[in-house]
Amino acid sequence: MRRLVLLLGLCAVTALPAAAQQTELFAGYSYLRLSNGTDVNLNGWNAAVERELVGWFGIVADISGHYGSPGGVSVNTLQALFGPRLKVDTGLFEPFVHVLFGAARGSAGVFGSTSSDVALGVAVGGGLDIGVGPVAWRAVQVDYLRTELFGATQNNTRVATGVVLRF
């Protein structure tokens, strides 16, 4: 009987982290300051899905696209990044930090001719979600985004805001 109680207690304790798991979907506006010798301002979108493994630690898949036509040159970027996120849930406010790795694609076109490249992308940053319950507002997410497109290093700044759905 003692072993049975111990076994049931162990099962209950190990089930608690699984019950606390949560998925979050984020979608919103994103601004990218593309820095490759000349600074370019691009507007676009950012979407992410996060799966919490424990209350303060999760895995994130983050995708963003940015577009613009500075000086008549069509510039497009797309990033698909993945990695860990750490956060603190204080009730109404939920600050977070993350380090994301993946692929970055850039293209530039002028007069009907387009060049594109794919390279490693790394984002280090964080943000703040505000809200309780199934819907929250990502007040701000700021990332240092480093890419190595077209044989040159880009030290970019990405800023996003939008809606977070939790389930």
Q: Are 40 and 66 in contact (CB under 8 A)?
A: no
Answer yes or no: is 2 within a domain. no
Answer yes or no: is 9 within a domain. no
Answer yes or no: is 117 within a domain. yes
pLDDT tens, 14-39?
Answer: 444 445 569 999 999 999 999 877 88
Answer yes or no: is 31 within a domain. yes
CA distance 71 to 42: 13
Whether the per-residue pLDDT at 63 is higher than 90: the answer is: yes
Whether the per-residue pLDDT at 1 is higher than 90: the answer is: no
Could you report how far apart the first and last alpha carbons of the chain are, in Å? 38
Answer yes or no: is 116 within a domain. yes
Residue 55 belongs to domain with CATH number:
2.40.160.20
Burial 145-158 (b: 16+ CB within 10 A, else e): bbbebeeeebebeb
Answer yes or no: is 4 within a domain. no
pLDDT tens, 133-155?
Answer: 899 999 999 999 999 999 999 99
Structural domain for 37, as ranges: 21-166
Answer yes or no: is 7 within a domain. no
Position with higher pLDDT, 72 vs 49? 49
Answer yes or no: is 15 within a domain. no
Domains in the chain: how many in total?
Answer: 1
